[in-house]
């Protein structure tokens, strides 16, 4: 906790605040719950990455224009990296993975994609490739200790460029949350979906947030349910392309995301000491292999991630 955080909360009129630490996320931000009479609030300490505060304010304004429910921002201190937020509670989609709530999440996604995107950074080829390279550096080299030869490196680059090309083939110019999954969707007292952790939004492909939700690193949906939710999304959006084309967009976008996540989860463990994220690697790797095996052009990726069918962390035998 930043040494000035408690004083700032007192300055806001909450006398002798008792800040109760909440379970954090993958970032360096810290969250606390504080009471003021009968009401409670969430205090965010982003002093280690102050730039998050103006980012959150800016993206929040975009979401409000699309009438997306987010925790209301009560106060903030830009120079310190502090923020006081509405307390939504502790109910997440992750803990309440029902068909009803997933349908609400799909409806919310469709509306969220109407958010203004002017001047948002693009999910372009360079950024897609940079994200996928996290797997090479942190998962293969650092986590598995795997020596990647020149031939394998060139092969991976070719696969990454192919995936990037496929991701960019779908309609772009869409608001992308970038982490639209079960742990970033809360449920308020009115049973409505509340979107959090939206500060890194970009403009990009229409399937990115959909695949984040339906091939979630933390929740394994039944394939039949996933297909049903994809169909609902396509109907709500008025998608006119054939199912095979849409599923190719969905699959390759999911590959890009999950390849990145392998690197991120490994980095969170190695660099930040957050080993709990390693528990989610098996499901993420399973997603990659299941999808890659559908496409002959990705055979080399399968061979690299599952050499000689041997046991490795992250593969469900």
Please state the pTM of the whole predicted model.
Answer: 0.93
> Residue 315: its pLDDT value, please?
33
Alpha helices in the chain (DSSP H): 5-11, 52-65, 99-112, 125-134, 150-167, 208-214, 223-237, 243-270, 281-292, 299-305
Helices (H) and strands (E) in the chain, counts: 10, 9
Query: Do 235 and 299 belong together in one domain?
Result: yes
Residue 317 falls inside a structural domain: no
> Residue 237: its pLDDT value, please?
96
Answer with the one of 86, 102, 126 that is the final residue of a domain.
86
Query: Do 125 and 266 belong together in one domain?
Result: yes
pLDDT tens per residue, range 204-261: 999 999 999 999 999 999 999 999 999 999 999 999 999 999 999 999 999 999 999 9
Going by the DSSP 8-state scheme, the letter that residue 297 receives in this structure is: G
pLDDT tens per residue, range 76-127: 999 999 999 999 999 999 999 999 999 999 999 999 999 999 999 999 999 9
Q: For the chain, first and last CA: distance in Å?
A: 42
Q: What is the mean pLDDT of residues 287-297?
A: 97
Query: Do 245 and 97 belong together in one domain?
Result: yes
Q: What is the mean pLDDT of residues 60-76?
A: 97
Can you give the CATH number for the domain in which 42 is found?
3.30.200.20
Residue 178 reports pLDDT greater than 80:
yes
Instruction: Domain count for the chain, please give it.
Output: 2
> Residue 24: its pLDDT value, please?
65
Answer with the one of 70, 86, 102 that is the final residue of a domain.
86
Answer with the one of 34, 61, 86 that is the final residue of a domain.
86
Name the burial class of residue 16, with classes exposed (0-12), middle (13-18) and buried (19+) by CB atoms within 10 angstroms of its CB: exposed
Query: Do 126 and 274 belong together in one domain?
Result: yes
Domain containing residue 120: 93-309
Q: Which helix (H) or strand (E) holds 179?
A: none
Residue 312 reports pLDDT greater than 60:
no
Query: Do 131 and 274 belong together in one domain?
Result: yes
Can you give the CATH number for the domain in which 217 is found?
3.90.1200.10
In degrees and rounded to multiples of 5, residue 124 shows phi and psi of -95, 180
Q: What is the mean pLDDT of residues 179-198?
A: 97
Query: Do 39 and 115 belong together in one domain?
Result: no
């Amino acid at each position: 906790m930043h040494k000035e955080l408690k004083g700032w909360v007192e300055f806001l009129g909450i006398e002798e605040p008792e800040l109760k630490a909440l379970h954090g996320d993958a970032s360096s931000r810290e969250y606390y719950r504080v009471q003021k009479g009968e009401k409670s609030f969430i205090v965010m300490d982003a002093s280690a990455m102050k730039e998050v505060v103006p980012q959150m304010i800016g993206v929040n304004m975009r979401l409000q224009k699309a009438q997306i429910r987010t925790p209301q921002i009560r106060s903030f201190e830009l120079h310190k990296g502090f923020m006081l937020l509405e307390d939504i509670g502790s109910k997440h989609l992750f803990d309440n993975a029902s068909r009803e709530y997933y349908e609400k999440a799909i409806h919310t996604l469709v509306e969220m994609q109407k958010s203004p995107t002017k001047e948002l950074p693009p999910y372009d080829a360079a950024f897609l490739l940079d994200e996928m390279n996290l797997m090479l550096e942190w998962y293969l080299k650092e986590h598995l200790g795997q020596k990647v030869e020149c031939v394998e490196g060139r092969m991976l680059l070719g696969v990454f460029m192919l995936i990037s090309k496929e991701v960019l083939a779908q309609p772009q110019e869409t608001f992308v949350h970038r982490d639209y999954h079960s742990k970033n969707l809360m449920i308020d007292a009115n049973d409505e979906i509340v979107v959090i952790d939206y500060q890194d939004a970009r403009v990009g492909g229409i399937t990115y947030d959909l695949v984040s939700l339906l091939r979630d690193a933390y929740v394994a949906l039944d394939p039949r349910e996933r297909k049903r939710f994809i169909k609902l999304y396509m109907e709500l959006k008025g998608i006119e392309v054939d199912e095979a084309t849409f599923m190719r967009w969905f699959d390759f976008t999911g590959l890009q995301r999950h390849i990145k996540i392998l690197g991120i989860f490994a980095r969170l463990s190695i660099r930040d000491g957050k080993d709990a994220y390693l528990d989610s690697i098996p499901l993420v790797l399973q997603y990659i292999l299941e999808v890659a095996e559908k496409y002959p052009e990705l055979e080399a990726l399968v061979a690299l991630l599952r050499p000689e069918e041997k046991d490795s962390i992250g593969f469900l035998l």
